[in-house]
Copies of this chain bind each other. A is one copy, B any other.
Amino acid sequence: MTRKETFNFSSGPSVLPAEALERAGAEICNFGSSGMSVMEMSHRSPIYEGIFAEVKTKLKKALSVPDSHEILFLQGGASMQFSMIPMNLMGEKGCADYAVTGNFSDTAYKEAKKYGTVNLAASSEDKNHTYIPAQNEITTDPNASYFYYCANNTIYGTQWKYVPETGAVPIACDMSSEILSKPVDIKKYGVIFAGAQKNMAPAGLTVVIIDKALAGRELPFTPLMMSYGLMIEKDSMFNTPPCWNIYILGLVLDWLESRGGVIGMEKETVEKAKMVYDVLDESRLFNACAEPGARSNMNITFRTKSREIDAAFVKEAEARGLLNLKGHRSVGGMRASVYNAQPIEGILALAEYMRDFEVKNRV
């Protein structure tokens, strides 16, 4: 089966732009006239420093990052940020607000308790995380050091459609599964972070965008590598960064720009997601899991009334080259992740298959 005959709906690591992979393949043994792979370059060499600076500039441009904020290229995934955020931001006040709208924000909420007092500012657990709390359902503490939420819930297929109003309290946001899919007003956030393996680059890179004014307040036992202040001071190079992953991010950003940047992506994303949700809304077999106002444009979760039919759907999909449509083990059903690099052909193939499958499995 050639690459073109398959579409990968994995929730992450997930599909990357074919153009980026082809370019990486063409120069994998010898980048430019260097005689070296990017994987072999000293991170302190002028050639790699050039790549690094260029990727940072491209990301700054793509997301319109203001000069008040610094871009960091770190490791450890979003899970490392679950600890790094409280260790750095809990500060003197020693308390923080958390909105729990899924598995990952729940893990972050529990982890933060190691480092201070944590308020459950909002939760969607009462309806199994199928919705996003409205502003008036959030109880914020004006004395909190920060307010934390996860913008897109990969497992449950829900997405915040607004930025919570928190007054003077800085916002920390996990954007792992929606970053670069739409414009973001970075100034509204104290810290944004994202594991790269959904919309940016291969797993092993974590992008952090932090208001520099928030750095330098880490707790005394904070590990060196987990100090935002040190990472800002060293431009993410206190030690060797994940050089290859950063390079691939650059190739992905070139592709992104060629498609109109985050504005182009938002248009494509909304269209792509709508095509699948339209099938779900017309269907008598499939049901979307998320409430209409909270539907994610990145991860579309759905199911039939029967586990057996769900399993058959996933199995037949694989045979048609529609890969990784099984829902997360904690919720079951199906999940189609339609990140930036998911081509429209993949969406068309999925929609067609869903309609075909429904005809064959009339209820």
Contacts and interface: CB of A to CB of B under 8 A. Distances in A.
A40 B15 contact: yes
Contact of A80 (B10, B223, B242): B223
Interface stretch (A26-34, A134-142, A272-280): A26-34
A248 interface: yes
B223 A83 contact: yes
A118 interface: no
Contacts of A82: 223-224
Nearest to A223: B83
Which of A30, A78, A225 is most buried by chain B, counting CB atoms within 10 A of its CB?
A225
A297 interface: no
A29 B21 contact: yes
Given A25-B29, A204-B204, A324-B45, A240 B77 contact: yes
Nearest to A108: B224
A40 B14 contact: yes
Contacts of A111: 223-224
Given A13-B240, A14-B40, A77 B75 contact: yes
Given A25-B25, A75-B75, A36 B224 contact: no
A29 B3 contact: yes
Contacts of A76: 75-76, 80, 225
Interface stretch (A182-190, A195-203, A261-269): A195-203
Contact of A221 (B6, B13, B40, B115): B115
A222 B362 CA distance: 53
The secondary structure that dominates the A interface is loop
Contact of A10 (B15, B16, B24, B45): B45
A53 B240 CA distance: 26
Given A35-B323, A79-B239, A203 B87 contact: no
Interface in A80-136: 80, 82-84, 87, 107, 111, 114-115
Interface string A321-363: 1011000000000000000000000000000000000000000
B45 A16 contact: no
A40 B78 contact: no
Those 8 A-B pairs whose CB atoms lie nearest each other, nearest first: A204-B242, A6-B35, A83-B223, A39-B202, A75-B75, A25-B28, A79-B239, A10-B42
